[in-house]
Amino acid sequence: MLSHRSLSPRTRQRGLVAAAVVGSTLSLLVAAAGTSSAAPKPAKDPIPLGQGYMGAGYDIDSGNRAPSGHKAPSFGPASSAGGVQGIDVSHYQGSINWSSVKAAGISFSWMKATEGTSYKDPNFNANYLNSYNAGVIRGAYHFARPDVSGGAAQANYFASNGGAWSADNRTLPGVLDIEGSCYGLSQASMRTWISDFYNTYKSRTSRDIVIYTSPSWWSSCTGSWSGMSAKSPLWDAHWTTAANPTVPAGFPFWTVWQYTSTGSVSGVSGNVDRDKFNGTADRLLALANNTA
């Protein structure tokens, strides 16, 4: 059996996030039982503030995590073969050798910059600079927390703390990572929250925000809303060995596909999310530079 120390930082963090969510839910259930036997089932708790990462909500929502640990499938030949390959990272990957990542065939990466309006990933500055210097086309992502503040406030925080954009041949537009619970918002309110984030980010940077989400989250929390499909490129979270992902209803196609959370890449210690761009290297560069 693996010891806690032998697990990768990302695997340990998945366990900590799961324990925090389960512990909070159990506390609510105990409190409810003490007041009324007919108390309603509590809503799924959000990821603890500061502990979000790409796939944290999808991991729980899709049922890929069991009490014994994370059980996402490894990427298969259909997903990993060919195409423009990328990774997404946060401080849970630790120190990254970006020259090795580039030499391993990784063309692009998005990295966590912010969460809510108070948290900045401690490894963001190093990842953002070192990936650029290694020749990796890189961008920043924001882990959405609709339960703590409005979309406009979080877009401003993101744009001021790593999410800004420049036409320098290596910077991708920012990503809104929205997943996990619906944070107590109705579908209409969630649509408004996302619109406020989009409009504020666009005003600050001139770029359309990329939306990272899963089919189940988009259906449950926005009602399969089509209002962003003509404005925001979709980053589809669907861990599978199939040749193509399931696309959230409301979007016509995917631009980026996160196909596994258990990938491996030279230069990164332990598991890392693997991603694929839906197009050629020239089209990826056009997305970065906002050109036709």
Catalytic residues: 88, 177, 179
| CA distances from residue 81 to 78, 84, 241, 274 in whole angstroms, order as listed | 6, 10, 11, 12
- Three-state DSSP class for 292? coil
Structure tokens at 174: 């920012």
Q: What distance in Å separates the CA atoms of residue 276 and residue 256, rounded to the nearest whole number?
A: 6
Phi and psi of 178, rounded to 5°? -125, 115
Give the distance between the most distant pair of CA atoms in the chain.
Answer: 61
Phi, psi (deg, nearest 5) at residue 16: -65, -40
Q: Which two tokens stand for residue 7?
A: 């697990």
> What is the distance between the alpha carbons of residues 244 and 254, in angstroms, rounded to a whole number?
9
Q: Which amino acid type is present at position 223?
A: G
Contacts of 38 (CB under 8 A, 6+ apart): none
